[in-house]
């Protein structure tokens, strides 16, 4: 284990749930020197995610795990590297990453985090740390969902296809034509799903989001957009699909949409409409938890981690439901070693991925900023953007 550099304090502040259902608290944690394979990061910025709300208002995996240190993203500077850490990260590097909340070592809402190096990437030159910190959690989610839950391979590195035979041309065309429906495309997850699909050659992506986002979503790769705030969005999606079927008369027995990503997981808002669109053979990847009841000031959220228990009997036979669990992405050994250290920074550096639009959350203290961001999530005031805020009080 490395010792702490002299300028690093022995303890530091962190934002935690100390008792389920109670307001967030500021606690003091020991700063942990990095072990082999880890680095110590001075966390300057983080981003908030609806998962914070599921923890604070839905007690999701918080019971028996308090104090529960919050935060699934970190952005900051490496201040110490553990012995025998072969990641190439060095003191002074600007890094960003998707980490585990609930962990006193690595969670994001604390001034110093001790993080396995495979959960971090170097922030590319010319990219602001505030933009970078909006990316890793949901870009990792997008890649994991497409590969693990939709079953569509995303080979890395991406080599532009130069089909030399008719068979290869046929395969490339088949991929381009695969229909993927992204419901909740203006969410942070949705915007990265669109960009990932575009980069890997999927050209027939349908997006459901508020009309005000449609132009921006087309720039990210959506071919056709539908407004869920207008009447009969399901009828409009089905009408579009029927129009396609009429053009191609060989669709017999195949699902109208083989691949669906529900980026929201709301029982009434997204799953119920999708029961009318998914057919036998459709694969539906749903962001967990399913939100049966969204929280308000006076009401706790009601969440379900088993998508198979929601709207039972309302899906058509043969629909394949998959609950997305991004925290398990490292079970794919390739992604464990390459996704955050290499792929995420490269996609950002090559400007293939545009970070979500930022909404900076201001506040006098670390706790104020964390609480304000949580209130914005609770009030469903986040639309087509990511909440980003400063963690360290000892920077500008």
Ligand X SMILES: NC(=O)c1ccc[n+]([C@@H]2O[C@H](COP(=O)([O-])OP(=O)(O)OC[C@H]3O[C@@H](n4cnc5c(N)ncnc54)[C@H](OP(=O)(O)O)[C@@H]3O)[C@@H](O)[C@H]2O)c1
Residues forming the site for ligand X (CB under 6 A): 49-51, 54, 138, 141, 183-184, 186-189, 208-210, 213, 228, 263-266, 269-270, 287-288, 324-326, 382-384
CB 234 → ligand X: shortest distance, Å?
Answer: 12
218 burial level (CB within 10 Å; 0-12, 13-18, 19+): middle
Give residues with Cβ within 8 angstroms of 303, minimum separation 6: 54, 58, 60, 289, 290, 291, 292
Among 271, 241, 270, smallest CA distance to 254 is for: 241
351 burial level (CB within 10 Å; 0-12, 13-18, 19+): exposed
Q: Which is nearer to ligand X, 188 or 282 (CB)?
A: 188
CB 219 → ligand X: shortest distance, Å?
Answer: 15
CB atoms within 10 A of CB 280: 13
Judge whether 370 and 15 are in contact, CB under 8 Å: yes
Where residue 221 falls (left for φ over 0; alpha for ψ -120 to 50; beta otherwise) is left
Q: Which is nearer to ligand X, 276 or 280 (CB)?
A: 276
Q: Which is nearer to ligand X, 12 or 213 (CB)?
A: 213
Judge whether 66 and 59 are in contact, CB under 8 Å: no
Q: Which is nearer to ligand X, 4 or 208 (CB)?
A: 208
Q: Which is nearer to ligand X, 184 or 221 (CB)?
A: 184
Q: What distance lies between CA 229 and its chain's CA centroid?
A: 23
368 burial level (CB within 10 Å; 0-12, 13-18, 19+): middle
CB 1 → ligand X: shortest distance, Å?
Answer: 32
Q: Which is nearer to ligand X, 270 or 295 (CB)?
A: 270
Q: What distance lies between CA 313 and its chain's CA centroid?
A: 29
Rounded to 10 deg, the angle between the 366-378 and 50-58 helix axes is 90
Q: Which is nearer to ligand X, 189 or 205 (CB)?
A: 189
CB 4 → ligand X: shortest distance, Å?
Answer: 33
Among 341, 182, 338, smallest CA distance to 264 is for: 182
- Alpha-carbon distance of 33 to 29, in angstroms, equals 12
Q: Which is nearer to ligand X, 93 or 131 (CB)?
A: 131
Q: What distance lies between CA 55 and its chain's CA centroid?
A: 16
CB 131 → ligand X: shortest distance, Å?
Answer: 16
- Alpha-carbon distance of 130 to 356, in angstroms, equals 10
CB 258 → ligand X: shortest distance, Å?
Answer: 20
CB 73 → ligand X: shortest distance, Å?
Answer: 11
Q: Which is nearer to ligand X, 110 or 270 (CB)?
A: 270
Query: Hey, CA dihedral for 369, 375, 379, 380, is it positive or negative?
Result: positive
CB 305 → ligand X: shortest distance, Å?
Answer: 9
CB 201 → ligand X: shortest distance, Å?
Answer: 23
């Amino acid at each position: 284990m490395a010792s702490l550099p002299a300028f690093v304090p022995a303890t530091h502040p962190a934002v935690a749930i100390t008792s389920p259902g109670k307001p967030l608290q500021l606690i003091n944690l020991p700063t942990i020197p990095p072990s082999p394979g880890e680095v110590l990061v001075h966390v300057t910025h983080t981003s908030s995610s609806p998962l914070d709300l599921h923890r604070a208002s839905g007690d999701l995996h918080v019971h028996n795990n308090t104090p529960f240190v919050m935060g699934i993203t970190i952005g900051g500077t490496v201040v110490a590297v553990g012995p025998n850490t072969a990641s190439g990260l060095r003191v002074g590097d600007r890094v960003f990453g998707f980490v585990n909340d609930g962990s006193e070592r690595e969670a994001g809402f604390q001034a110093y985090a001790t993080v396995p190096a495979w959960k971090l990437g170097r922030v590319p030159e010319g990219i602001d740390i505030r933009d970078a910190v909006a990316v890793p959690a949901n870009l990792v989610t997008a890649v994991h969902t497409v590969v693990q839950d939709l079953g569509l391979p995303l080979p890395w590195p991406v080599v532009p296809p130069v089909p030399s035979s008719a068979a290869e041309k046929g395969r490339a065309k088949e991929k381009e034509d695969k229909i993927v429906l992204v419901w909740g495309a203006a969410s942070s997850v949705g915007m990265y799903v669109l960009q990932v699909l575009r980069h890997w050659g999927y050209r027939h992506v349908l997006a459901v989001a508020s009309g005000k986002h449609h132009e921006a979503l087309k720039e990210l790769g959506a071919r056709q957009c539908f407004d869920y705030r207008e009447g009969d969005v399901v009828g409009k999606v089905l009408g579009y699909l029927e129009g396609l079927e009429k053009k191609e008369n060989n669709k017999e027995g195949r699902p109208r949409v083989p691949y669906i990503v529900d980026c929201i997981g709301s029982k009434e808002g997204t799953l119920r409409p999708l029961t009318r669109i998914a057919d036998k053979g459709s694969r539906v990847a749903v962001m967990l938890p399913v939100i049966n009841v969204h929280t308000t000031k006076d009401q706790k959220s009601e969440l379900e981690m088993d998508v198979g228990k929601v709207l039972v009997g309302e899906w058509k036979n043969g629909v394949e439901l998959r609950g997305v669990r991004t925290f398990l992405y490292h079970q794919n050994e390739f992604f464990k070693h390459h996704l955050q250290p290499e792929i995420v920074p490269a996609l950002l550096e090559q400007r293939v991925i545009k970070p979500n639009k930022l909404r900076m959350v201001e506040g006098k203290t670390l706790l104020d900023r964390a609480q304000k961001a949580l209130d914005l999530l609770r009030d469903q005031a986040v639309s087509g953007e990511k909440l980003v805020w400063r963690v360290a009080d000892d920077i500008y």
